Amino acid sequence: MIGKTFTTMLGGKELSIETGKLAKLVSGSVTVRYGDTVLLVTAQASDTQSKLDFLPLTVEFEERHYAVGKIPGSFHRREGRPGEKAILSARITDRQIRPLFPKGYRHETQVIITVLSADGQNLPDVLGPIGASAALSVSDIPWAGPTACVRVGQVDGTFVVNPTAEQLTRSRMDLVVAGTRDAVMMVECGAQTVGEEEIVSAIEFAHAQMQPIIDLIEQMRAEVGQEKFNFVAEGDLTVDLVPELAEKARAGGLRGALLTVKKKDRSARTKAVRDAIIAEYVPDAEAEGAAERITALKNAYAKVEKQELRRLILEEDLRADGRDSKTVRPIWIEARPLPRAHGSAIFTRGETQVLGITTLGTERDEILIDDLTGETGDKFLLHYNFPPYSTGEVKRMGGQSRREIGHGNLAKRAIRAVLPSFEEFPYVIRVVGEVLESNGSSSMATVCAGTLSLMDAGVPLKAPVAGVAMGLVMEEGRYRILTDILGLEDALGDMDFKVCGSAEGVTALQMDIKVGGITPQVMREALAQAREGRLHILGKMSEVLSAPRAELSPTAPRIVSLKINPELIGKVIGPGGKQVRELEAMGAQVTIEEDGSIRIFSADGQAAEAVKARIEGLTREAKVGEEFEGTVVKTAPFGAFVNLFPGQDGMLHISQISEERISAVEDALNVGDKLRVKIVNIDDRGKIDLIRPELEGKIAPREPRAPRGSDRGGERGGDRGPRREFGDRGPRGPRPEGDRPPRQDENRREEGERPAAPAPAPTSETPREE
């Protein structure tokens, strides 16, 4: 038998991992199956070390439409660049496996996850990390796994491991957790304002549920795993220089330089200390071998900086800008800096600044997503932009990076939890976070700026939300949690833990660990400290905008809603869409739902109201007893037709026009005359009979027209009297029996159908004899 399969139970369903069957030329290859969702995951490393000074790891998540029995909808009918969901799924795997590669490992390594089958219920994004862990574990690539990954939902108050797509729609949280045997390494969460202790309980539940998966992968490694190849970590020559350089750096003022508040000033001062030390070791920078010596000294000095900064934090509770571990940087906020945007705000925290902009649109602006879950729409968009000038750098401008997509998704999850429903606020909402300055926590500043811009636009949020990034320095059993970390502290620290939420609870969080993982106790402390920081930031935000503005921004478009009888939708659309085009030519967009709900969208409130009035006129339904100021639009021998409102006329019979008998309608009324009329009858065909209200009770009421299909004893009733058997042409002669075609009702009787109804009663357009 080809291949070997390993199985365990997860959430009441079988999880199987097979290896040795597919893609056998790659270093590590496994197939993961859960339900009818199947993934192929491969891991491969290059033979030689690269010259890069970072870990060259790439993770790709490939969605194949054949996995759900679909042909791609693109022009070429084949898959193109990864969509946003695929990129986010790849990031989940990358963040789990990256910290466990050996220090100094520089072999280019690629993990490719290919979705071969997707059943629509068992989501593939959390199976990819399991496959990556298994593929790396059985490969010859040095890696300190295994790890495992699970999703946790909360349905009806109970934690559920790997909930189905249907269960997720009813869950209060969507929590993805990855970890090793002993600790949690990565957390990604969106929640409906959940308490911190509940979050920790869910993470503990997830960590317990992933243990059988770790057992399974360890069994695979023991039975079919390859021996890991050896590698030489370059750059170790600088290790011997570190103690000596550290002593010189302290003497040269490194401590004061690191505690400089401003980023540029701090960088300049630390660079001056470094350059002075290097000049002692390499007086002539042009000498032979000087460049290599300078590079080694710079690498060693970087380690000295890291060590000194971590020592200051752990021993003295002093950070790079002079704050203690719990202090949030100074904050200033400005609402509505942009005169034409629907909503805007500037949020600045220290040297991180984000301009948030909100734009409101119609249903036509929702984004359409075509992925393995099918074609869906999203009425909330959040885009995070990180231009190179935000860090004072010059870089090539291209498309959105994976980092931008990931940060934007985190901010989106944080804010989505407090948005009103579309029924409450029928706008498509786009929020853009323009990062203008970045020195740490720009994604959290985007949450704050985005929330403020929504409130400035008048979007009725359930509660304002804010975000804060937490850090960690941990050494030899000692640790210190940092609130509102700088970019330098993110790079030199051991954790990046972003927490977003309102005053009531958490709406989103993201945690990445650079060490072997952290315990639930550290997470509890980090969440509690994050809450303090979040409440401080929310307080600063409330000083500028304590609640959404009571009215929409003057520049924001207005949406006017109404509901009509669904049977009258055709009147609004008109033949070939003519009527709705005329409505939109009045300066508004019109959307019509099958249930008769209509939304009118216009930047001009008066235009929207005019379109609404026009639609109400087109779809108005008359009722018996209503009175109108009507206009005569046509006269006939039997009466006058009076327009009541656009698209609706009624007939005022000649007998109901005047108290005295008149011989012709024109004796009392002419086309264009205006008069007060009252509806006295509406037949089943919608024909309306009118009377002049002032004559009601003074003249004999006219007999209502018979309903459609009525039979008046074999004679045609109405004003004309019984049907005559002889006309001007004389009596009708007999028809030869053979020539008479069968009557329609006879044909129907032969076919078993109901006989046709008698001819309809005369309409208001039919001349009547007096």
Q: What is the pLDDT of residues 381-419, one digit of tens each?
A: 999 999 999 998 998 888 889 999 999 999 999 999 999
653: CATH: 2.40.50.140
Least confident span in 10-24, 287-301, 451-465: 287-301
Paired tokens of 732: 């009708």
549 and 213 in contact (C-beta within 8 Å)? no
Q: Is 753 within a domain?
A: yes
What was the pLDDT predicted at 14? 97
Paired tokens of 246: 């550290």
320 and 311 in contact (C-beta within 8 Å)? no
Up-side HSE of residue 389: CA atoms within 13 Å toward CB?
A: 3
> Are 92 and 133 in a shared domain?
yes
Cα separation, 559 vs 227, in Å, equals 66
Q: Is 323 within a domain?
A: no
What was the pLDDT predicted at 5? 96
Of 128, 127, 141, the C-alpha closest to 43 is 141
Cα separation, 405 vs 168, in Å, equals 22
267 and 255 in contact (C-beta within 8 Å)? no
Mean pLDDT of 166-193: 94
Helix (H, G, I), strand (E, B), or coil: what is residue 27?
A: coil
Tokens 């302290």: give the residue: 250
Rg (CA), the chain: 38
Read off the pLDDT band of 300 (50, 70, 90). Answer: confident
> Are 607 and 631 in a shared domain?
no
pLDDT digits (tens, 9 = 90+) for 533-592: 999 999 999 999 999 999 998 888 888 888 888 988 988 998 889 989 999 999 888 989
> Are 365 and 406 in a shared domain?
yes
Cα separation, 669 vs 651, in Å, equals 13
pTM: 0.80
Tokens 């087109």: give the residue: 618
- Amino acid found at 436: L
Mean pLDDT of 607-627: 86
676 and 692 in contact (C-beta within 8 Å)? yes
Residues within the annotated binding site? 490, 496
Q: Is 259 within a domain?
A: yes
pLDDT digits (tens, 9 = 90+) for 752-766: 444 444 444 444 444
Read off the pLDDT band of 706 (50, 70, 90). Answer: low
Domain span holding position 574: 558-619
Of 395, 446, 455, the C-alpha closest to 425 is 455
466 and 534 in contact (C-beta within 8 Å)? yes
Say whether pLDDT at 708 is over 90: no
What was the pLDDT predicted at 754? 41
Q: What percent of the chain has pLDDT over 70?
A: 89
pLDDT digits (tens, 9 = 90+) for 436-482: 999 989 999 999 999 999 999 999 999 999 999 999 999 888 899 99
Q: How far is CA 720 from CA 641, 656, 659, 711, in A?
A: 19, 17, 22, 15
Least confident span in 228-242, 587-601, 602-616: 228-242
Q: How many domains does the chain have?
A: 5
Q: What percent of the chain has pLDDT over 90?
A: 55
Cα separation, 41 vs 125, in Å, equals 12
> Are 583 and 512 in a shared domain?
no
Name the region of 304 (left: φ>0; alpha: ψ -120 to 50; beta: rest).
Answer: alpha
What was the pLDDT predicted at 740? 46
Length of the chain: 770
Q: Which of 224, 252, 267 is the last residue of a domain?
A: 224
What was the pLDDT predicted at 756? 43
DSSP-assigned letter for residue 424: T
Q: Is the peptide bond before 557 cis (omega within 30 degrees of 0)?
A: no
Q: Is 229 within a domain?
A: no
Mean pLDDT of 288-303: 86
In degrees to the nearest 10, what's the CA dihedral of 410, 413, 414, 417? 180
Q: Which of 544, 574, 596 is the last residue of a domain?
A: 544
Backbone angles phi, psi at 494, to 5 degrees: -110, 0
Q: Is 299 within a domain?
A: yes
Q: Exposure pattern of 385-409 as b/e (b: 16+ CB <10 Å)?
A: bbeeebeeeeeeeeeeeeebbbbbb
> Are 290 and 311 in a shared domain?
yes
Cα separation, 199 vs 190, in Å, equals 10
Cα separation, 175 vs 129, in Å, equals 15
106 and 49 in contact (C-beta within 8 Å)? yes
Helix (H, G, I), strand (E, B), or coil: what is residue 478?
A: strand
pLDDT digits (tens, 9 = 90+) for 659-672: 888 889 888 899 99
96 and 124 in contact (C-beta within 8 Å)? no
21: CATH: 3.30.230.70
pLDDT digits (tens, 9 = 90+) for 72-126: 877 788 888 888 999 999 999 999 999 999 988 999 999 999 999 999 999 999 9
Mean pLDDT of 8-12: 95
More confident residue, 487 or 718: 487
> Are 42 and 170 in a shared domain?
yes
> Are 266 and 368 in a shared domain?
no
- Amino acid found at 206: A
Q: Is 321 within a domain?
A: no
Of 529, 502, 540, the C-alpha closest to 324 is 529
What was the pLDDT predicted at 233? 67
Residues within the annotated binding site for Mg(2+)? 490, 496
Paired tokens of 319: 């950070």
Say whether pLDDT at 3 is over 50: yes
Q: How far is CA 452 from CA 330, 658, 708, in A?
A: 17, 67, 62
CB neighbour class for 284 (10 Å; exposed up to 12, middle 13-18, buried from 19): exposed
Q: Is 324 within a domain?
A: no
Cα separation, 657 vs 640, in Å, equals 9
Least confident span in 116-120, 151-155, 175-179, 248-252: 248-252
Mean pLDDT of 666-682: 90
Q: Which of 520, 544, 568 is the last residue of a domain?
A: 544
DSSP states along 219-283: HHHHHHPPPPPP---TTGGGGGGHHHHHHHHHHTTHHHHHT-SSHHHHHHHHHHHHHHHHHHH-S
What is the chain's mean pLDDT, rounded?
A: 87
572: CATH: 3.30.1370.10
- Strand 107-117 with 57-63, pairing: parallel
pLDDT digits (tens, 9 = 90+) for 519-534: 788 889 999 999 999 9
> Are 91 and 111 in a shared domain?
yes
> Are 596 and 689 in a shared domain?
no
DSSP-assigned letter for residue 767: -
382 and 415 in contact (C-beta within 8 Å)? yes
Cα separation, 351 vs 440, in Å, equals 8
- Strand 495-501 with 37-49, pairing: unpaired
Locate all alpha helices (DSSP H) within 458-519, ordered by sequence: 487-492
What was the pLDDT predicted at 114? 97
What was the pLDDT predicted at 529? 96
Of 328, 538, 508, the C-alpha closest to 409 is 508
DSSP states along 696-720: BTTBPPPPPPPPTT---TTS--STT
Beta bridge partners of 188: 176, 510
Q: Is 552 within a domain?
A: no
What was the pLDDT predicted at 286? 84
pLDDT digits (tens, 9 = 90+) for 333-347: 999 999 999 999 999
Q: Any idea what the Cα angle at residue 110 is, between residues 104 and 111, rounded to 5°?
A: 120
> Are 37 and 173 in a shared domain?
yes
> Are 638 and 756 in a shared domain?
yes
> Are 187 and 58 in a shared domain?
yes
What was the pLDDT predicted at 62? 95
Of 677, 575, 566, the C-alpha closest to 629 is 677
Paired tokens of 353: 């600044």
